[in-house]
Each structure stands twice: as structure tokens, then as C-alpha cells.
Amino acid sequence: MKTYKLTISTPDGHIFDDEVVSLSLRGSDGDLAVLAGHINFATVVKAGKCSIETGSGEKMTATVGGGILTVGDEGTVLLSSSFAWDQDA
């Protein structure tokens, strides 16, 4: 599957910077997923859960505190007030 660069940052610094297959989260207009080749856009991100599938096939989930998501030709950037990886039970 095609991948793209995803960078996640909070006021505390970079949280994630790697190639991914997909990012799913809740934007200002509802749930959305970003895949490689997605049209360029920006949206407000609402607080809630997000999921990421890495280029190696690993699936991870996290809680995002809201912020801004931008999708561009050079990659996707999520700037969030807070971001915490979910721990497996």
C-alpha cells in the first residue's frame, strides 16, 4: 500500500514522524480518514480517538486533545494540544 509522511506535534514537542498508510480521526465536519494521495486541505480536529496504520502494518490508537490537521504535498501534519498513545490492556 502507498504511504505518506505523518508528523504529530504538541506543545511538548514531536510525538510521531514516520510513514503511514492511514490516519483516522474526527474533524470539524465529522469523522475522516487520510490516505496517500488525499487532496490537500486543512481542518480543525476535535478531541477524541484517532487511529494510525503505519507503513509496516502496525495499528496504533491514541487520544488527541483537539487541534489542526493539514494535508499537503509534502505530508500530513497534526498539531494538537495533547496526544497520548493508548496502552493495550
Q: Is 11 exposed, middle or buried (0-12, 13-18, 19+ CB in 10 A)?
A: exposed
Per-residue pLDDT tens listing for the chain (89 residues): 899 999 999 999 999 999 999 999 999 999 999 999 999 999 999 999 999 999 999 999 999 999 999 999 999 999 999 999 998 54
pLDDT of residue 89: 40
pLDDT of residue 1: 85
48's torsion region: left (phi>0), alpha (psi -120 to 50) or beta? left
CA distances from 36 to 39, 50, 65 (A): 9, 17, 24
Q: Domain 4-85 has what CATH class?
A: mainly beta
pLDDT of residue 33: 97
| CB distance 15 to 39 below 8 Å | no
Show me where the domains of the chain are located.
Answer: 4-85
Closest C-alpha to 69, from 13, 15, 30, 25: 25
pLDDT of residue 88: 58
